[in-house]
Amino acid sequence: MDLNSALSQIKLRNQNLELCSQLDIELLVLDILKISKNDLYRDNPLLSQDQQDRLLKLIDRREKGEPLAYIREKIGFWNLDLHIDQRVLVPRPETEVLVERILENFNSKKLNVLDLGTGSGAIGLALCSERPLWNIVCSDLCPQALSVARRNMKKNLLKVQIVNACWLDSFVEGRFDIIVSNPPYLSFDDPNIFSDGLRHEPLKALAAENHGLKDIEEIIVNSAKLLAVKGSLFVEFGNDQTRKVVSLFKKNGYSEINLYKDLNGDERFCSGKITKC
Ligand code: GLN
C-alpha cells in the first residue's frame, strides 16, 4: 500500500500515542480530505505532504489533551451537527437524556421553553428540531457563547430566540412552561477541572461556588417564580449532588420530583413541577 495513502497514514500515525485514538485520527483524516468514511475505505485516497503536516499538528493538539470537538470544530448532538469551539463547553452525550425526558413528557402542543446557560445551543436547538411549534428561548451570560448558539441555529436551519441574560434576571414572571438547564456544577476544587479534557473548556461553564451548587440553587429558586402554572424545571447536576438538589426542589415548592440516570446509571438529572394557586 502507498505510504502516503490515507489508510497507511492512519496506521502509521497511530503509534506511541496516549490520548489520540485510531478513531480520532480517522476522523481527522476524513475532515482534512472532506470525505466520508465510505469514501475512505473505498478509494483510500492519497494525503499530500501539506495534508500530512496538518494531520500531525491536529494529532499533536489531541495528544496535549484538547477535546476532539474543539480540534474538529464540530460535534454531533441529538440529530444536530453543532459547530463547537473554546467559547463553549463541549456538549456531552449524557445531556441528551435531558432532551429525551422532556420530549417524552411533552407533546408538540405550543409551549414556552427556556434553555438557561445554553452555551452552544445544544439543548434548546435539539428541542426546537423536534418540536417546531414550541417558542424556545436560549439564554446565556456569555455573549461569545451566544455567537456559537446563533451560528448553530443557522447551521441547522432552526429558529429560537437568543438572549443575553444572567440566569433568570431578565425574564418576566410566570412565563415559561418548561425551563431546562445544564448549568456549571463542578466544585472549583474538583481535580477533574485540571484534567486533560476539561482544562481546555471555559471554567465558567464547568464550575460554580458552594461545592458546585450555587448556580443550580439560583436556578431552582428563581424558576419557581418564572414558571407558568404547572410549569416544569429540568436540570442536570453532578455525581453525589442528588440529595442536595432534591432537597432544593422540595424546599422551593416543587412537586412531582423525578430523578433520571445517565448512561452509567448515575442519577444526574432532576425535574419538578410548580403548582401555583
Ligand atoms: N458535564 C460536565 C462534565 O461532566 C460538567 C459541567 C456541566 O456539564 N455543566 O465534565
Q: Which of 18, 35, 64 is the last residue of a domain?
A: 64
Say if residue 56 is in the same domain as residue 130. no
In a domain, 59, yes or no: yes
Q: Is the dihedral of CA 227, 231, 237, 241 positive or negative?
A: positive
As a whole number, mean pLDDT of residues 5-30 equals: 97
Does 183 lie in the same domain as 81? yes
pLDDT at site 55: 98
**Does 241 reside within a domain?**
yes
Are 59 and 80 members of one domain? no
Q: Which atom of ligand 1 is nearest to 94's Cα?
A: 1
Does residue 117 surpass a pLDDT of 70? Answer: yes
Question: Is residue 70 one of the residues assigned to a domain?
Answer: no
By the 8 A CB rule, do 236 and 185 touch? yes
Asked whether residue 202 is domain-assigned, the answer is yes
Among 84, 88, 92, 141, the mutation site with the greatest number of ligand 1 atoms within 8 A of its Cβ is 92
Query: Cβ of 157: how many Cβ atoms within 10 Å?
Result: 7
Q: How far is the CA of 186 from the centre of ligand 1 (A)?
A: 7
216/97 same-domain check = yes
Average pLDDT over residues 218-243: 96
104 with 213, same domain: the answer is yes
**Are residues 227 and 129 located together in one domain of the fold?**
yes
**Using CA atoms, how far apart are residues 207 and 209, in angstroms rounded to an integer?**
7
Over the chain, what is the mean pLDDT?
96
With respect to residue 1, please indicate whether it lies within any of the assigned structural domains. Answer: no
If one counts the domains in the chain, the total is 2
Are 191 and 142 in the same domain?
Answer: yes
Cell representation of residue 133: 411549534
Where does a domain end: 64, 83, 114? 64
Report how far ligand 1's centroid is from the alpha carbon of 213 (Å).
Answer: 13
Q: Is residue 269 located within the same domain as residue 161?
A: yes
pLDDT of residue 1: 72
Residues 6 or more apart whose CB falls under 8 angstroms from that of 260 comprise: 97, 98, 101, 267, 268, 269, 270, 271
184 within ligand 1 shell (Cβ under 6 A): yes
Atom index in ligand 1 nearest the CA of residue 182 equals 9
Let me know whether 60 and 79 are in one domain. no
Q: What is the rounded CA–CA span in Å between residue 81 and residue 78?
A: 8
Ligand 1 binding pocket includes 207 (Cβ within 6 Å): no
If asked whether residues 96 and 166 sit together in one domain, one would say yes
What is the number of the ligand 1 atom nearest to the C-alpha of 236?
9
Q: Which domain holds residue 59?
A: 6-64
pTM of the model: 0.95
pLDDT score of 173:
82
pLDDT tens by residue, 33-73: 999 999 999 999 999 999 999 999 999 999 999 999 999 99
- Cα dihedral: 143, 145, 149, 152 (round 10): 130
182 with 216, same domain?
yes
Q: Read off the pLDDT of each residue in 82-104 and give the average, rounded to a whole number.
A: 97
92 lines ligand 1 (CB under 6 A): yes
Q: Looking at this protein, which amino acid is placed at residue 99? A: V
Instruction: Give per-residue pLDDT as tens, 174-208.
Output: 889 999 999 999 999 999 998 888 999 999 999 99
Domain boundary among 45, 64, 83: 64
Average pLDDT over residues 226-247: 96
Among protein residues, the one with the nearest Cα to ligand 1's atom 1 is 92
- Evaluate: CB of 181 within 6 angstroms of ligand 1: no
Confidence of residue 172 (pLDDT cuts 50, 70, 90): confident
Q: Which stretches of 89-169 are assigned E, i.e. beta strand?
A: 112-116, 135-140, 161-164
Mutate to test the pocket of ligand 1, among 97, 120, 185 (most ligand atoms within 8 A of CB): 185
- 211: domain CATH number is 3.40.50.150
Which of ligand 1's atoms lies nearest the C-alpha of 197? 10
Distance CA 195, CA 20 (A): 15
At 237 the pLDDT is: 98
Within a domain: 69: no
Question: Does 91 fall in a domain?
Answer: yes
Nearest CA, atom 2, ligand 1: 206
User: Are 116 and 192 found together in one domain?
Assistant: yes
Give the integer Cα–Cα distance in Å for 226 and 174: 4
Residue 277 has pLDDT above 70, yes or no: no
**Is residue 237 within 6 Å of ligand 1 at its C-beta?**
no
pLDDT in tens, 244-253: 999 999 999 9
Q: Is residue 157 domain-resident?
A: yes
